[in-house]
A and B are shown apart, each in its own frame.
Chain A
Amino acid sequence: MSELTYRDAIHRALVEEMDRDPNVLIMGEDIGVYEGTFRITAGLLKKYGANRVIDTPIAEAGMVGTAIGMAMLGLRPIVEMMTFNFALVAADQILNHAAKIRYFSGGQVDMPMVIRGPQGAGVQLSAQHSQSFEAFYGHFPGLIVATPATPADAKGMLKSAIRGKDPVIFLENAALYGMKGEVPDDPDAVEPFGVSRVVREGAHVTIVSYSRMLVLSLAAAAKLAEEGIEAEVIDLRTIRPLDLDPVYQSVRKTHRAVVVQEQWKPFGAAGEIAASITETVFDELDAPVERVTGEDVPMPYARNLELLAVPHEEHVIAAVKRALYRD
Chain B
Amino acid sequence: MGEIIMPKMGDAMTEGRVVRWHKKAGEKVTKGEALLEIETDKVNLDLEAEEDGILDNIAFEAGAVAPVGAVLATVGAPGAKRAEKPAAAVAPAAAPVAAAEPAAAAKKPSGEISVHEKKTAEQEIPAGVAGRRRSSPLARKMAAQKGIDLALVAGSGPGGRIVAADVERTRPVSRTGATALAPAPGSRLPVLEAKVVPLTAMRRTIAKRLAESIGPVPHFFLTVDLDVTKLLQQREQVIEITGVKASVNDFIVRAVALALRSHPLVNASFGDEAITLHGDVHIGVAVATPEGLLTPVIRNADRKSVTDIATEVRALAEKARSRKLLPDEYQGSTFTISNLGMFGVEEFTAIINPPNAAILAVGAAAQRPVVDAGQVVVRDRMKVTMSCDHRVVDGAVGADFLRTLRQYVEQPLRLLI
Contacts and interface: CB of A to CB of B under 8 A. Distances in A.
B309 to A, nearest CB: 42
A9 B139 CA distance: 46
Interface stretch (A17-25, A37-45, A284-292, A312-320): A284-292
Most chain B CB within 10 A, of A255, A286, A287, A325, is at A286
A255 B140 contact: no
Given A325-B156, A325-B157, A285 B163 contact: no
A282 interface: yes
B156 A286 contact: no
Given A255-B164, A325-B163, A284 B156 contact: no
B268 to A, nearest CB: 53
A285 B156 contact: no
Contacts of B156: 325
A285 B163 CA distance: 9
Contacts of A227: none
Interface in B195-215: none
A283 interface: yes
Contacts of B158: 325
Contacts, number: 27
A277 B193 CA distance: 35
A283 B163 contact: no
Interface residues of B, number: 12
A283 B137 contact: yes
Contact of A283 (B138, B157, B165): B138
A121 B139 CA distance: 40
A284 B142 CA distance: 9
A229 B300 CA distance: 60
Interface string A252-273: 0001000000000000000000
B403 interface: no
B137 A282 contact: yes
Interface in A274-327: 282-287, 325
A282 B139 CA distance: 11
B136 interface: yes
Contacts of A283: 137-138, 140-141
Nearest to A278: B137
Nearest to A281: B137
B120 to A, nearest CB: 17
B164 A286 contact: yes
Given A325-B156, A325-B157, A287 B140 contact: no
A286 B138 CA distance: 5
Contacts of B138: 255, 283-286
A282 to B, nearest CB: 5
B141 A287 contact: no
Nearest to B140: A283
Nearest to A322: B158
Given A255-B164, A325-B163, A284 B157 contact: no
Contacts of A286: 136-139, 163-164
A284 B138 CA distance: 5
B161 to A, nearest CB: 9
Contacts of A325: 156-158, 163, 165
Interface string B21-49: 00000000000000000000000000000
A36 to B, nearest CB: 50
A324 to B, nearest CB: 10
Contact of A285 (B136, B157, B165): B136
A283 B138 CA distance: 5
A285 B157 CA distance: 13
Interface in A175-234: none
Contacts of A284: 137-138, 141
Contacts of A287: 136, 157, 163
A282 B137 CA distance: 6
A54 to B, nearest CB: 55
A282 B140 CA distance: 11
A284 B164 CA distance: 10
Interface in B140-179: 140-141, 156-158, 163-165
Contacts of A285: 136-138
B141 to A, nearest CB: 5
Interface in B277-310: none
A81 B333 CA distance: 81
Contacts of B141: 283-284
Most chain A CB within 10 A, of B137, B157, B158, B165, is at B137
Contacts of B164: 255, 286
A325 B156 CA distance: 9
Contacts of B165: 325
A255 B141 CA distance: 12
A197 B49 CA distance: 53
A325 B134 CA distance: 15
B168 to A, nearest CB: 10
A255 B164 CA distance: 9
Given A283-B137, A283-B138, A283-B140, 15 more contacts: A255-B138, A282-B137, A283-B141, A284-B137, A284-B138, A285-B136, A285-B137, A286-B137, A286-B138, A286-B139, A286-B164, A287-B157, A287-B163, A325-B157, A325-B163
6 contacts: A283-B140, A286-B163, A325-B156, A325-B157, A325-B158, A325-B165
Interface of B: 136-141, 156-158, 163-165
Interface of A: 255, 282-287, 325
Q: Name the 4 nearest CB pairs between A and B, nearest first.
A: A286-B138, A286-B164, A286-B136, A283-B141
